[in-house]
Chain A
Amino acid sequence: MSHFKEFKIKWGMVIDIDKCTGCGACMVGCQVENNIAPMTKSDPYNYVQALTKPRDDASNKLRTLTWMNVYELSNGKSFPEHETAYLPRPCMQCGNPACVPVCPVVATDKNEEGGIVSQIYPRCIGCRYCMAACPYHARYFNWWDPLWPEGMDKGLSPSTSVRPRGVVEKCNFCHSRYLEAKDKARLDGEDPMNLPEGAYTTACADICPTKAITFGDLNNPEHKVHELIQSPNAFRLLEKLGLHPQVYYMSEREWVRKQGDNYNAEAGGHH
């Protein structure tokens, strides 16, 4: 059964792996934009700290909270044939998301125009079915209360409310920026359903110093992404699963394209 729903506007990303240096600026930018707390070891509100285990800090990669994550790829060859590449991974905002049908409380959905998969935090009961379902590991459970060391909560971004411990979080293509862009278009007497290139962009695309990330409406021929996804070098991750991700990747390197498709490019997975 397919849940595939077409949208007039389909926000998407094209990430050029041949330009990404894996610097991590997008990850930091994403955390700042979306008020993801830096992970701290101690919790001043836990009065029985001495009796409980310390919180995990960001050195524990199993419990980090990073809506955007950069993976390191290797062609698997030994010196000197070795090659390496970096793959930034936001939520793919799948056209046919695996995470949506499994949610027992409808805390996640793909309904709004734009094709962004939403996550309604106050509804989320933290059952983590969606995490298990998402093949891209794009969802994160927040194990710890979001704490900013003394004084650091002064600098919270106004975009996204802070989520409490115990819910599943994910990238939403900086949805608040979409709302702002639409509002601005209305105020300026322009059509909010036909935003020009650049009127709405995500924090990671904005910050990327090599402009490896291009953001736009995949359906809009006036947006760069529309053209980029036609490239023979464009591919989507695990395409064979049929989730129809709205995030595309590009690489001139064949081994990268193959890995992106889980080594299955020849097996007919690549559309």
Chain B
Amino acid sequence: MSVARRTFIQLGAGATVGILFTPTVWKALDDVSIWTQNWPWIPKLKYGAVEAKPTVSKMCESGCAVKVRTVAGEAFGTMGNVDNPLSGGGICPLCANGVQVKNSPNRIKAPMLDGQEISWEKAQEVVAEKLAAAGSKVAVISGDQTGTVNEVFSALLNDKGSDAFYVMPCDMQAADKAWTGLMGGAGQVGYDLEGADLVLLAGADALESWGPTVANLKSFAANESGKFIFAGPMQTKTASVTSKWVPVPAEGMAAFTLGLAYYVLQAGKTVGAADFDLFRSMVMSEYSPAKVEAATGVKADQMAALAKQLLTASNPVVVPAGPVAAHGAAFALNLLLGGAMKALPEFAKAIPSAMSRSEMLRADILDGVNTDLLFVYEANPAYALPEKIKAGFTVAFDMVQTETTATANLVLPSLHPYERFDDLASPYGLAAATYSLGVPVSKPSVNAANAATFILGLADLGFETFEEVLGAKVDAIGADMDALQGGEAFVVEGETPVAASLAANVLGKAAVPVKGTGAVGLVPYTLLSVGTANRATTPNAPCTISNNQLVGDHMVVMMGSATAKQLGVSVGSMVKLSGGKGECEALVQIFEGVMPGVVAAPLGLGHTVGDEFSKGKGDNVYKILTVSSEAAAGASTWAGSTVNVAKI
């Protein structure tokens, strides 16, 4: 019997309907997708006990208290540490990717001398030889602001008769120069962001990259009654959550702050400092609202309203950033207001011959470094300070390859913070002296070593290993080792700050805005998702970088529509920015949260060395910053940088 066409169609239709009403088709599709999805390169997961081990992260200069999440002993993630006041449970985007940096192929795998792999013993020999030859012409650049590792390096310098200890330019340094240098204050300045009822962030983008960012964010979240106000040249991410943004040019911040002090003095506030009368008459004559308005463009009535808010607050605080003068002006204003600024005691040293923190902050790296032997510890001056550093022989310690390790003579791989002993003493900005300890929570994945232990092998500093130094530190400060290892912090409350002088002489001269000669002002800003001067974008962060910073591989600069009109550019224009001794390329984005006459550019892009997540993305804004001298304050600053913008 032949099957008629009609029967065939009927059969077919029946079969189809049948399939649709049985689960077979779903199962079949399931199987098909499983088999097409089962490729050998899809990694299998590791199973086992999941733990969270407390330690410290040194991904940024301040550092943070974290917990490292492990599965069967292998680290896979990072979370905050609720038991530590530095964290409050949250972390920043840099720390969030800490493990991924640890496992990155960009890790330096072994000591390298002029590009050749060598043993640690050989490295020790080479450095010992260079040290002997250099005499006192030895310098250190440290990218760590809070670690006792700095004591080890500075003790080595002391042993060699050198005091050339440099930190990368930072607000902690400007604050120290103003507070202990110019004003005769004692201790480290801190700001009680949690306890203040009015916080004026005078240039400090505290909720995105300034100071101990995570601790700041935590204080911001915990401060229910406080009002936060941001003053600065652009509406930063910090400004997006403060109740107000007051546009003030970066170079005008000191004058603006003294303009506020004018009203505060007028209200009869006094403070017991030797030069109070001088300060008062200097401010009343030189920083009258009209004069400040003329110099900075900030309206007098706006300053009057702000000053009134500061005066009516019961516990206000002004948090500065930028040049030394801006810090001095803010400290003077805080002293007059008597609010939530604190002076933190310095923790006792572990190594007696080491420098104090204030001594470590003294040398001005922007003035340039010229030495025979240079140690660079987890910093990237070849990227952020091009042309400033000259050394006969450079030894660079880092976990990952950077512009600095690429140009150093000897590269020594340091352990990742999750693999090593480390510590965090009073990150700048906190209101209390706070000490936290880091312990290895993961096995080293490369042939790395503890940099401080390596240094201890070069000179007799009284310790064999860094672990011993940390033990001595914990003893010296009177903390409990077990509690610290358990992730708790040792905390000593800050005190009411007292200054010998208000630096009237210096501020009278230094607070006047100094601006370069370029067509527009340059506002460089830092986002932790993009990276810092020392750390490039982390592997998972590129998708978090918005198209206000990066489009494809092009850097984006932001400006208001008025500025764009003035420059003859529009959204998407490709421009060349020239300033300092260099040039940058960028696309233009219109963002009305940038003051007229300035262009905002993200720091941290444009790496030429590193992994595929950071290399070749955008351009390096450090190239176009101009160093200007704060002559009266005896310091250098990048504030007041200007650029010329040309369409290309």
Contacts and interface: CB of A to CB of B under 8 A. Distances in A.
B568 interface: no
A32 interface: yes
A122 B34 contact: yes
Contacts of A162: 42-43, 45
B592 A156 contact: no
Interface stretch (A91-99, A206-214, A235-243): A206-214
Contact of A21 (B41, B240, B611, B612): B240
Contacts of A21: 207-208, 217, 237-238, 240-241
Contacts of B547: 61
Interface string A162-185: 111011000000000000000000
B540 A38 contact: yes
Contact of B550 (A24, A59, A156): A59
B240 A149 contact: no
A72 B546 contact: yes
Interface in B610-638: 611-613, 617
A204 B268 CA distance: 49
Given A61-B543, A158-B71, A162-B42, A79 B595 contact: yes
A64 interface: yes
B543 A74 contact: no
Contact of B543 (A58, A80, A84, A157): A58
B100 A211 contact: no
Determine the main DSSP class of A at the interface with B. loop
A148 B42 CA distance: 10
Contacts of B76: 32, 155-158
A164 B93 contact: no
Contact of A152 (B100, B527, B541): B100
Contacts of B96: 25, 28-29, 32, 207
Contacts of A186: none
B124 interface: no
A132 interface: no
B43 A66 contact: no
A149 B220 CA distance: 37
A146 B237 CA distance: 32
Interface in B23-41: 26, 29-30, 33-34, 36-39, 41
Given A152-B539, A210-B218, A211-B221, 14 more contacts: A28-B544, A29-B77, A32-B78, A58-B613, A121-B37, A146-B42, A152-B103, A152-B105, A154-B445, A156-B45, A162-B42, A209-B88, A209-B91, A210-B217
29 contacts: A21-B208, A23-B217, A24-B544, A32-B99, A38-B540, A38-B542, A40-B612, A59-B550, A59-B617, A61-B547, A74-B591, A78-B561, A79-B560, A79-B562, A83-B593, A84-B239, A145-B41, A147-B41, A151-B103, A151-B104, A151-B445, A152-B100, A155-B76, A156-B76, A158-B76, A162-B45, A206-B89, A209-B80, A210-B207
Interface of A: 18-25, 27-29, 31-33, 35-36, 38-42, 45, 57-61, 64-66, 70, 72, 74, 77-80, 82-86, 105-106, 121-125, 145-158, 161-164, 166-167, 206-212
